Amino acid sequence: MDYLPIAVLAVFVLLGGIIAVIADELGRRIGKRRLSLHRRIRPKYTAKILTFLWGVFITLFTMVLIAIASSDMRTLLLHGRKAIDDLKTEQRKLVDDNSSLHGENDSLRADNVNLTNLLSEEQKKLRQAEEKRNSAQSQATTAEARASAANKRAMEITAKLARLQTNYDKAKRQLTEEKKLLDTAAEAVSKGKAELAKLQKEKTYLYDEYKNLTSQNNDLTIAADKLRSELARTDQQIKDKNQSIQDLNAQMEQLTRDIGDKQAALDNARADLEEVQRQQRIAETAAGNGALAARFSQVLILAGEEVARVPIPAGTSKDEAREKIETALLLARDYAKSRGAKPWNGMNYAGMLVDPLQGTPVETQKDIIASRLAGLPDDEVLIAYAAMNAFAGESVAVTFSFRPNPIVYQPNQVLAEIRVDGRQDGGQILKSLDTLGSRLRERALRDKMIPIQRPDSSIGSVSSEDILRLLSEIQRSGGSVRVQAKARRLTRAADPLILDFEVK
């Protein structure tokens, strides 16, 4: 009976059980971590995909180990039953050839016996001829002739016997070689049987181990149930004691956030005051010199309003910083032109002025700013803003400042979350989404995002298509859902905040 298929089947059945245990544990751990291969793939589908891939990997790995450990199994895996059938066919062919050679050997032996008998008869006749020669001289010539013929016949028979002996020796050598091949095949079969017995023994051992582990698992389950009961009672006591502590911590965190927001507002107000004072000094100096006259036309851009911003990577050289300044001026000109500014007083829509306090030329001011930006160890952002009010028909006087530009948010980082009832009407849902926007703005300012220094002080924007898509998805849910706002990409303090929304 061929036990090899049974052994292979047993190995793969056992492997299926091991894969099931590992896949269950792997799926449980991946599910707890709530990993996601893509923002559109839910964690439970990610767990299923990873569990499937692990099962495939373990099966392939086990088949490779079996192929490496046993040449016969490798042959079976690569060629299947064809290799065994070929081996059996070759064995049957060798047995048939052996039978044929035995038959030919018997035939040669019979011929040898016949020739030996014939030679004996001829020799007997020769002796009779010699006796007749002694008895009758007259018949000597005839006897000698007959003896010569008999000797010739004997020589022919001897030569034929030699040829037959040669053929016999050759057939015997072939038979020996065929026997060696047959012994090699028998050895391979014996080796396969030994491997099969080894696998059967390993199967028995693994089955015993499985029974032991099952018994231990039952004992551990009983002990775990007792521990869970005790832990449940302990957790309830801890929850009761920690509830008051959590309430106090929440109040403390709220007070800390309020203090942080007030401190941030105070810092911004102080910076705005210093900028207004600086602009006031510039305006007073220009007014004292008679450079400005009273203007009553429309104000296009207010003093301190941002007109451009350019990121400055860490370690930027002076020449590269100078190019960044020129880029910021080009962006400022485009913005000023879009707001209705005109070329005026030698300035093309927007540009820098000679410092009225110290008389520093524009190019010298650019060199000073480039020197300050060159070689900084951290990323910065260069912000261009209007030095004074720009009226209709005028250009925009530009000045610069720079601020740190660190990484604030990572891709897919949750920034804010609210719960929305999808059964409400569209107006109520939009009001809830406005609450989410307020939380996002508070979070961004608290995390030191740099808003655009314009009347709206925006940090980012959401298209109406995204709002409508989000509203439709919430209404389709038909119940209470959580809406999360996540950062779409790596975001620095001066970058526009681009968001993705997810409904759970």
pLDDT in tens, 293-315: 334 457 888 888 888 999 999 99
pTM of the predicted model as reported, rounded to 2 decimal places: 0.42
Q: Once rounded to an integer, what is the mean pLDDT over residues 376-384? A: 91
The string of pLDDT tens digits covering residues 30-40 is: 777 776 767 67
- Residue 288 pLDDT greater than 50, yes or no: no
Percent of the chain with pLDDT over 70: 73
pLDDT for the residue 380: 93
Question: Phi then psi for 23, rounded to 5 degrees?
Answer: -65, -40
Radius of gyration in angstroms for the set of CA atoms belonging to the chain, rounded to a whole number: 51
pLDDT for the residue 289: 39
The string of pLDDT tens digits covering residues 174-204 is: 777 777 777 776 777 677 677 777 777 776 7
> 209: pLDDT confidence band, cut at 50, 70 and 90?
low
pLDDT for the residue 477: 83
> 265: pLDDT confidence band, cut at 50, 70 and 90?
low
- Residue 393 pLDDT greater than 90, yes or no: no
pLDDT for the residue 284: 47
- CB contact at 8 A, 453 and 304: yes
- Residue 287 pLDDT greater than 50, yes or no: no
pLDDT for the residue 253: 62
pLDDT for the residue 243: 65
pLDDT for the residue 458: 73
- 436/214: higher pLDDT: 436
Determine the angle formed by the axes of helices 4-33 and 140-288, rounding to 10 degrees.
Answer: 0
The whole-angstrom distance between residue 413's C-alpha and the CA centroid of its chain comes to 21
- What lies within 8 Å, CB to CB, of 11 at 6+ separation is 62, 66, 199, 203
> 113: pLDDT confidence band, cut at 50, 70 and 90?
confident
First to last CA, the chain: 60
pLDDT for the residue 291: 37
In the chain, the amino acid numbered 164 is L
- CB contact at 8 A, 398 and 351: yes
What letter does residue 290 receive in the DSSP assignment?
Answer: T
Tokens of 161: 């016997």
pLDDT for the residue 47: 76
- Residue 20 pLDDT greater than 80, yes or no: no
The string of pLDDT tens digits covering residues 67-88 is: 776 666 666 666 666 766 777 7
- What lies within 8 Å, CB to CB, of 272 at 6+ separation is 304
Question: Phi then psi for 454, rounded to 5 degrees?
Answer: -140, 175
Of the listed ranges 30-39, 281-290, 383-392, the least confidently predicted one is: 281-290
pLDDT for the residue 3: 66
Determine the angle formed by the axes of helices 43-69 and 4-33, rounding to 10 degrees.
Answer: 150
